[in-house]
Amino acid sequence: MNAEIIAVGSEMLTPSRVDTNSLWLTDQLNAMGVEVAQKAVVGDHRGRLAGAIREALGRSELVILSGGLGPTEDDLTREAVADATGRVLALNDTVLEAIATRFARLGRTMAEINKRQAYILAGAEVLPNPRGTAPGQWLELPEGRVVLLLPGPPGELKPLFENEALPRLRRLVPPLAIATLEFRVAGMPESDLDQLISPVYRRYENPVTTVLAKPGDIQVIFRARCATREEAERLVREMGDQVRPLLGDRVYSENGDPLEKVIGEMLLARAATLVVAESCTGGLLGARLTEVAGSSAWFRGGRIVYSMDEKRALIGDFTEDPVSEAVARRLAVCARERSGSTFALSITGVAGPDGGTEANPVGTVWIVLAGPGVVMARRFRFPGERARVRGFAVQNALEMLRRQMCEPVR
């Protein structure tokens, strides 16, 4: 079954409001095997909305509308669905009574305009909305088409969908089992990864492959939908077995765990600890590491050596460029010695937009890992603006440590 979602409301055409209902609905629909083929945001305009509904019904079996069920003149979803489907709207006494009772319970008298919310499309089932005044509506049309009207406030839409719409949808959609497998990959540009694995995943329509990229970090998600759980799991396993050897040790987790969590587990297994000295990342590395619950078992802390004075306080006087191998090395070595940690990571670079020189253009970052019998320095040149450079720096520092810990102990 294919679905379309139409979020109704002019406020969502302004820069200050976002349609989040459709994201939540998409997640719910995908989980039961319904694909969202298209979605739209339409302002409070009866003609435009009716047009959008008509078009959506021409393409898709399920059309979900969120919002525009309020009592005011600009709440036009009911009327637009009536226009698009040719169904009349009629006042439903039971709904009207329920609305009046709700007002009475809250110690208020129902305003005349609230009557609008008791108009129901001919043939539609009323979906009670205990958290609000406007009920939802479920309208089954010939040729297996369904229009679902839901209130806009997320606190009303979510329970109404779960309690009323889902059981009705389950009657129409054959049950599906879903299995997913997620590879997380570091140290590889998205385009290189795609070139490597797309010959495999392009051969499959099921599982579906999604590639999500952040600076220095890529998630590859395979999701299979089948009649049985065994079949879905077999399919993602089959895909994983083909992709795994192509990516090799660049895959750092297969269960969705982020790099900092994987590193924490590796440190813990070695009874090792980590300290950091950060300049251009200003604490981002420490923040990532401490996002992991229980990180105090392996992360000692560190310093934000942003200014020259703070660098000198850690490593003593120096005459070299602060973005240099020599300074980066001393930052890591001194941080390690002072704290007595097993490993230390230092980061010093030019995040931009200013401060670039011919020798060290914006994006230049030195990262050093100091550990037992090893001091490893790498110079990077990251692309993009400040936030991306800093994101890349943190990710690559973590990846240097992971790779070092993957090395066999000599």
**Which positions lie near ligand ATP, rule CB under 6 A?**
7-9, 11-12, 19-21, 66-70, 75, 132-134, 151-154
24/204 with CB nearer ligand ATP: 24
Q: How many residues does the chain have?
A: 410
Element at 210 (helix H, strand E): strand 208-214
Q: What are phi and psi of 338, to 5 degrees?
A: -65, -35
Quote the least distance from Cβ 19 to ligand ATP, whole Å: 4
75/83 with CB nearer ligand ATP: 75
State how far the Cα of 165 lies from the Cα of 180, in Å rounded to an integer. 25
77/396 with CB nearer ligand ATP: 77
53/401 with CB nearer ligand ATP: 53
42/305 with CB nearer ligand ATP: 42
State how far the Cα of 141 lies from the Cα of 85, in Å rounded to an integer. 8
Quote the least distance from Cβ 44 to ligand ATP, whole Å: 8
Quote the least distance from Cβ 280 to ligand ATP, whole Å: 37
Instruction: Quote the Cα angle for 246-251-256, to 5°.
Output: 130
List the one residue out of 79, 21, 23 whose CA is nearest residue 53. Answer: 79
Quote the least distance from Cβ 20 to ligand ATP, whole Å: 4
Quote the least distance from Cβ 41 to ligand ATP, whole Å: 8
Give 3-state DSSP helix, strand, coil % of the chain, rounded to 5: 45, 25, 30
Quote the least distance from Cβ 77 to ligand ATP, whole Å: 7
List the one residue out of 361, 372, 381 whose CA is nearest residue 401. Answer: 372
**Token representation of residue 365:** 């970052």
| Eight-class DSSP state of 226 | E
- Specify whether the backbone of 318 is left (phi greater than 0), alpha (psi in -120 to 50) or beta: beta
7/389 with CB nearer ligand ATP: 7
State how far the Cα of 60 lies from the Cα of 310, in Å rounded to an integer. 62
Quote the least distance from Cβ 9 to ligand ATP, whole Å: 4
152/363 with CB nearer ligand ATP: 152
